[in-house]
């Protein structure tokens, strides 16, 4: 697979490789993907769920002014649990 990278991403990859952090760009990208996987699993979010939650929170701020973060996360978890129970 060929991937098009922005100049900034290319610069960051090159810098990481030059500084000895990664031998190849593939190593750096795999490390980033692994970190994302860990973050999602530690927070008990399904892939893409965190992004959806952030978008939902941003939208609610635009619509309602402000929103308590803990309340938003709890509501999203409740919705997720309802969807999971329906699928089993």
Average the pLDDT over 41-45 and give the result.
71
Is 84 buried (19+), middle (13-18) or exposed (0-12) by CB count in 10 A?
exposed
3-state secondary structure of 46: coil
pTM score: 0.44
Query: Are 47 and 32 within 8 A, CB to CB?
Result: no
Measured distance CA(1)–CA(87) in Å, rounded: 34
Q: What is the pLDDT of residues 13-23, one digit of tens each?
A: 888 888 878 88
Q: Cα–Cα–Cα angle for 87, 37, 10, nearest 5°?
A: 135
Q: What is the pLDDT of residue 67?
A: 58
Q: What is the pLDDT of residue 53?
A: 83
Measured distance CA(76)–CA(88) in Å, rounded: 19
Q: What is the pLDDT of residue 21?
A: 81
Average the pLDDT over 77-83 and give the result.
84
> Can you give the residue ranges of every domain in the chain?
7-42, 46-88
């Amino acid at each position: 697979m060929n991937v098009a990278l922005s100049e900034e991403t290319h610069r960051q990859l090159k810098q990481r490789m030059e500084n000895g952090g990664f031998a190849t760009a593939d190593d750096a990208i795999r490390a980033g993907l692994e970190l994302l996987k860990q973050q999602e699993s530690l927070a008990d979010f399904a892939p893409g769920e965190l992004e959806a939650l952030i978008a939902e929170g941003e939208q609610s701020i635009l619509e309602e002014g402000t929103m308590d973060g803990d309340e938003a996360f709890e509501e999203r978890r409740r919705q997720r649990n309802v969807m999971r129970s329906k699928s089993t």
